Structures are given as C-alpha cells and as structure tokens.
Homo-oligomer: A and B are copies of this chain.
Amino acid sequence: MERKPKNIFREGAIPAAFVGDSIAKHATNHNIGGHSIFLGQVRADEIGGKKVQAIEYTTYEEMALEKMHEIREAIFAKYPLTCMHVYHSLGAVPAGEICLFVFTSSAHRKPAIDACAECVERIKAELPVWGKEIFEGEGYQWKVNTP
C-alpha cells in the first residue's frame, strides 16, 4: 500500500507560535535528544531602488508533494530520525515572516542537524515552487535561489 504524501503547503506565512507549538508537541517523546530547525524568512531586498514587500509563492502541487515524499523517504533511510516535519507557504508572505519550516528530531544531535540541512538543500533544489518578489508600490520580479 502506498502512503499518501503529506500536504506540506500552508496558505500565507507560518506563524512563529506554530513553531513553538510544534516543539511543545515533542515533549512526550522521551527518545528525542536533539531537534534541528530551519526557518526561511522573507527579506525586504532592495532591487534597483525598489523594496520587496512580500513574496508570493506558487507550486505545481501534485508534483511537489510527490517529490517531497521521495525526499522524506530518502532522508529517513539515511539518518536515524525520530520525526521530520516540513511546511512551505503558498500565496503572499510579507517581509519578516516565515515561509519555510523544516524540523527534524533524533536521539543524538548529529542526525537531526545533518538531516535538517540536507532537507533544506533538497527542498530549494528539487521542489517545483516559485517565488514572485512583489515590490512596494508596484511591480514584481521572479525570485532566483542562490545555490
């Protein structure tokens, strides 16, 4: 039986309190010794005199969820993890707000830290998601990820 891919997408910004709540939920798991978290935050970059006020994310959802499922399985196969959670925003996320939340846990610190870093790299490189940088006033440009 194939496991249904989890939906990682959330409409709008990921609230900081949601991160706190996610951490709190893991207090009942007494095998966990370390958590590693990565958060992507929208920068108000200035480009040609215009300031980014938000990034609007779109995706090819079916493909993204399949790919994320593949990444998840590969990372669980490679590292002795207890848990792994990934959330990515869709739609507009204002500057200063969180657009990506990757959260890994393991008995000892190394697997959680390495798995989190690897997951972030793979998400940036392999998930069909696009960011549109919306300028203050008017105009936009398509975001380009740094390698």
Query: How many copies of this protein are present in the complex?
Result: 2
Q: Is A24 a contact of B16 with CB atoms below 8 Å?
A: yes
* Given A30-B96, A44-B30, CB of A146 within 8 Å of CB of B113: no
Determine the chain B residues whose CB is within 8 A of the CB of A105 once the complex forms.
41
Q: Is B16 a contact of A23 with CB atoms below 8 Å?
A: yes
* Given A20-B19, A21-B16, CB of A97 within 8 Å of CB of B37: no
Task: Report A70-114 residues with CB < 8 Å from chain B CB.
Answer: 95-98, 105, 107-109, 112-113
- Classify the secondary structure of A's interface with B: mixed
Most buried by B among A21, A35, A107, A116: A35
- In the assembled complex, the Cα of A30 lies from the Cα of B96 at a distance in Å of 5
